[in-house]
């Protein structure tokens, strides 16, 4: 895993992007989620280059017997509405995968154990839905004193106004940086946060 002295103690969280999109409202979410997936893929490539660990934090959709492999396989089925996203962001063997039972990635999961073991003090939170799981995870991260970057172009919800509202809450109440990604987005953020520590 990443050396915290190299990565600045940063981890990239990808929330609920292994998703069948088989629920009411999913058709409204799908275009925004696919656009977010493209930005997340770029950010994941940047994380790889910076030796920043990538953690998938994914709902189990009530399938308590399912493993990581089961969840991913279901999303890659030919008829699955979420297949395009799953193909774009399919977890690699080196990525950590945390199954969550509720909205927050911290609730009843081993994420609170994993992050300190990796020396993580900063989180980049991405995924869906911005106004539910991303918001709840960011709130729990803030209460645990993690520095947050929630890039606006890497999150999505069924309603663009609710995405905007959620980002405003995360920025205003949780001190999250919400600037979108760009060609050197991760490196810029790592440099900026490192400078703040000095």
Q: What is the pLDDT along the chain (198 residues), one digit of tens a residue?
A: 444 444 459 999 999 999 999 999 999 999 999 999 999 999 999 999 999 999 999 998 777 778 899 999 999 999 999 999 999 999 999 999 999 999 999 999 999 999 999 999 999 999 999 999 999 999 999 999 999 999 999 999 999 999 999 999 999 999 999 999 986 778 888 888 777 776
Q: Angle at CA 142, nearest 5°, toward 139 and 147?
A: 130
Task: Indicate the helix (H) or strand (E) that contains 36.
Answer: helix 26-49
Copy the structure tokens of residue 95.
């990525």
Dihedrals phi, psi of 155, to nearest 5 degrees:
-125, 155
Give which of 138, 198, 125 is closest to 174, Cα–Cα: 138
Q: Measured between alpha carbons, how far is 191 from 127 in angstroms, rounded to an integer?
A: 23
4-197 belongs to CATH 3.40.50.850: yes
CB 43, CB 185: distance < 8 Å: yes
Report domain extents, the chain: 4-197
Spatial contact of 100 and 68, defined as CB atoms under 8 Å apart? no
């Amino acid at each position: 895993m990443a050396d915290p002295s190299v990565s600045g103690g940063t981890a990239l969280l990808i929330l609920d992007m292994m998703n069948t999109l088989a629920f009411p409202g999913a058709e409204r979410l799908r275009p925004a989620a696919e656009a977010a997936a493209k930005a997340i893929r770029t950010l994941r490539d940047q994380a790889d280059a910076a030796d920043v660990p990538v953690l998938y934090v994914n709902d189990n959709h009530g399938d308590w017997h399912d493993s990581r492999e089961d969840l991913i396989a279901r999303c890659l089925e030919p008829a699955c509405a979420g297949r395009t996203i799953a193909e774009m962001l399919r977890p690699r063997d080196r990525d950590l995968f945390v199954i969550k039972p509720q909205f927050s990635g911290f609730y009843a999961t081993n994420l609170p154990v994993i992050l300190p073991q990796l020396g993580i003090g900063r989180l980049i939170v991405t995924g869906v839905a911005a106004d539910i799981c991303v918001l709840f995870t960011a709130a729990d991260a803030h209460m645990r004193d993690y520095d947050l970057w929630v890039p606006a172009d890497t999150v999505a919800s069924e309603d663009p106004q609710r995405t905007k509202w959620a980002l405003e809450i995360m920025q205003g109440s949780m001190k999250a940086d919400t600037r979108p990604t760009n060609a050197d987005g991760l490196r810029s953020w790592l440099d900026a946060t490192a400078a703040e520590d000095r």
